[in-house]
Every structure is written in C-alpha cells, then in structure tokens.
Amino acid sequence: MRRDPSPDSTDMSKLLLAWFLDNQRSLPWRDDPSPYAVWISEIMLQQTQVVKVVPYFEKWMARLPDPESVARAEEETLLRLWEGLGYYSRVRNLQKAAQKIVRDHAGTLPRDEKALLKLPGIGPYTAAAILSLAYNIDVPVVDGNAERVAARLLDLDQPVKAPSTHRIIREKLKVWLPKGHARNFNQAVMELGATVCTPALPACGTCPVSSWCLALKNNTVLERPVKVPRPSTVSLIASVGILRDTDGLVYIQKRPPDGLMANLWEFPGGILKSKEYPEDALRRAMLEELGVKVRIGGKLGKVRHAYTRYRVWLHVFRCELEPPAQEITPQTAVEGRWTHMDELYRFAFPSAHRRIIDKLL
C-alpha cells in the first residue's frame, strides 16, 4: 500500500532513521560532528563531491584543527590546502569567519542562526547544517539530495529550485523531522538521496520509504525533480607558456587579489582570439601580459579543464625570451618570479595549472 507522506509521517520518519543507522557511510565529519568539523566539511562540499572532499578534509583538520588555527594561518597555507577544490572565495571567507569566531564568539561557532548568518560565507543552508548536524537543533537541511528525495516523495511538478517549491520542501521536512533527532534525520534524508534516490537510477526496490513515494506510485520518478535547463556551456581555448631562463628556472606570476582565482599563481598565457593560432596567441599574450618577446620551443601537450559553465583547452608550450636579456614587466599580475621546477609545489595554483605541473613537466 502507498500512502501520502503527509500529514502523518511518523512511520516513514522512523523507518528512514532506522535505515540510516544501519546503512550510513563512514565519513570523517560524521565520526566527529563538532561544529568546526561540520562547518569545514559543509564549505568544502559546496559544488564538490564527497569522495573528492574526504582527503582534503582530513589534511585540513590535521593541519588546522580549530578556528584559532585558521584565523592565524598564512593565506598561502590556506590556498595550498584548498588547491584543486576551486571556488577560492570559499577559503578566504573561511578565514574571515574564523577571525570573527575567535574575536566575537570565544573560538566556538555560535548555536544561533542569526549569529551564524553574520559570518562570511555562511548562508541559510550552512547555518542549518551546523545547527542540526553539530548541535542537533530541530531545523531541516535542504541540499540537492534532500530536494530530490522530497520532490519525489511528494511528486512535485514545479521546478525544484523555484523559491515556492523550496518553501514547500522545507515545510514538509520540518513536519517529517522527529523532534530531538535532527542530526540523524537530516543526514538520513541526504544519505538516501546520495546513495538510493539518485538522479539517474534510483534504487526504488531497496528504498526504505518507497511505500510513501508518490512519484513511484504515479510512475514519474525520472521526471522528478523538475529542473530548469542549465545555461549552455562555453568553450574556450587558451595558450600557456612554460617560460624558462638560461639557468632552467621557470617563470610564474600571481593573480590579482580580486576576481576569479584571486591570489593564485599561474603560468603566463591567454585566450585565443577568433582564427588565431595557439602559438600566435601565446606570443601576443607574452607581449601584452609581460612586455616581452618569446621564442616558442615546442609543444608540451594539451590540458582540458572544466569550471562552472566553462570548458577550457590549454595548449602548453615551452618558450624562452628572445632576445634573452629582456626585463619582464607584469601588466595584470601583482607579482612575478623565476623559480626552480621542484619548488613549484610550494605555491598554490589553479587546478588546470597544477595538472600541467603534474602531467606535463
């Protein structure tokens, strides 16, 4: 028999909780659901999958075990620990928030939503996660997994990201949440979405709440949740120069403190213009970015990189100053330096440039 999950949801919630206790994955922030661990994991998990986050989280916690250590860490240390996770404004906000936590909250994340929302980088979702997963306060947490589970249980036919749908989902989760069990219940809903009620191939046959699922009843599972089409992807091609001097040192430069990938180091280069060859684009970029002429010595390879809605191909060339005695004057970078190849690990690079170092050099 299938039942509407509202208004009486007690049995459904009980089954879901029992299923979670038997089936949850072991994750480091679950083993230690301290407010600090929950906060760090939630910020890392924004736009990033669990399997990728686990080693970053473990490394971070070993190096920076509390808000005090984050508050006083060097920016280069934070960027290096974050390197590869992308969306670097997150790690800068983490430090600003940590400094505020130390200054205004004696080094402990507040238990109060209003105070949490005043911390840089913490929005309603992260605040709810900290309150419920760390402090076990009865508030629902609505991430993408919870949205999908709720949209299917309720067979919602409105776009799931619309504010009105979000409100419905939040209200329903509030009703379904058994008092005093916020930590486990919210994790149970998200875990169900991550491991059973998955986007493409939900395992309805093993789902603990299938008896209540209206989408299953109405045969609309794969049509739920209703999504609005994403903006189309943009393809870009760029050239990157591995500029070496006569001593074998390589030139790197630091991006400005504002904007995309702020303060990260990179190899110089630029986006190809229409109908431009990669080699020509590189010569032009070196002249525009560094004020120097270069001789291109050979192609090292190609690296593909995707971020937000961009798909970027990087053509990587070895090159040298021609003539050799030219002074580099960075135009947009805040700093440039020649460094040994085996010192490159000390600097924080965007993922694509780290891949150049790992794969091509």
Residues 291-330 that bind ligand SF4 (CB under 6 A): none
Contact 338, 277 (CB under 8 A): no
Residue closest to 121 by CA, chosen among 145, 99, 139, 102: 99
The single residue of 42, 83, 147, 289 carrying the catalytic annotation is 42
- The answer to the question of residue 173 lying near ligand SF4 (CB under 6 A) is no
- The answer to the question of residue 216 lying near ligand SF4 (CB under 6 A) is yes
Q: Which stretch binds ligand SF4 (CB under 6 A): 24-32, 135-143, 155-163, 203-211?
A: 203-211
By C-beta, is 219 or 274 nearer to ligand SF4? 219
Tokens of 3: 């039942």
> What distance in Å separates the CA atoms of residue 109 and residue 35, rounded to the nearest whole number?
6
- The answer to the question of residue 204 lying near ligand SF4 (CB under 6 A) is yes
> What distance in Å separates the CA atoms of residue 181 and residue 323, rounded to the nearest whole number?
70
Residue 197: CB minimum distance to ligand SF4, A:
3
Binds ligand SF4 by CB under 6 A, chosen from 73, 209, 261, 281: 209
- The answer to the question of residue 210 lying near ligand SF4 (CB under 6 A) is yes
- The answer to the question of residue 283 lying near ligand SF4 (CB under 6 A) is no
By C-beta, is 28 or 178 nearer to ligand SF4? 178
Annotation marks residue 289 as catalytic: no
By C-beta, is 33 or 202 nearer to ligand SF4? 202
- The answer to the question of residue 196 lying near ligand SF4 (CB under 6 A) is yes
Nearby residues of 148 by Cβ (< 8 Å), 6 or more positions away = 160, 193, 197, 199, 224, 225
- The answer to the question of residue 207 lying near ligand SF4 (CB under 6 A) is yes
35-45 helix and 89-104 helix, angle to the nearest 10 degrees: 160
Residues 137-166 that bind ligand SF4 (CB under 6 A): 149, 152-153
What are phi and psi for residue 312, nearest 5 degrees? -120, 135
Strands (E), the chain: 234-244, 250-254, 265-266, 269-271, 294-307, 310-321, 335-339
By C-beta, is 132 or 145 nearer to ligand SF4? 145
Contact 39, 107 (CB under 8 A): no
> 307 pairs with which residues across the strands?
310
By C-beta, is 15 or 204 nearer to ligand SF4? 204
Binds ligand SF4 by CB under 6 A, chosen from 54, 137, 168, 221: 221
Contact 349, 323 (CB under 8 A): no
Binds ligand SF4 by CB under 6 A, chosen from 97, 129, 139, 215: 215
Q: Which stretch binds ligand SF4 (CB under 6 A): 128-136, 204-212, 228-236, 258-266?
A: 204-212
> Cα separations (Å) of 315 from 128, 238, 244, 269, 301?
44, 6, 17, 10, 6
Q: Tokens 């929302």, residue?
A: 117
Contact 142, 225 (CB under 8 A): no
Binds ligand SF4 by CB under 6 A, chosen from 102, 146, 197, 285: 197
By C-beta, is 188 or 328 nearer to ligand SF4? 188
Active centre residues (catalytic):
42
Residue numbers at the binding site for ligand SF4 (CB under 6 A): 149, 152-153, 196-197, 202, 204, 207, 209-210, 213, 215-216, 221
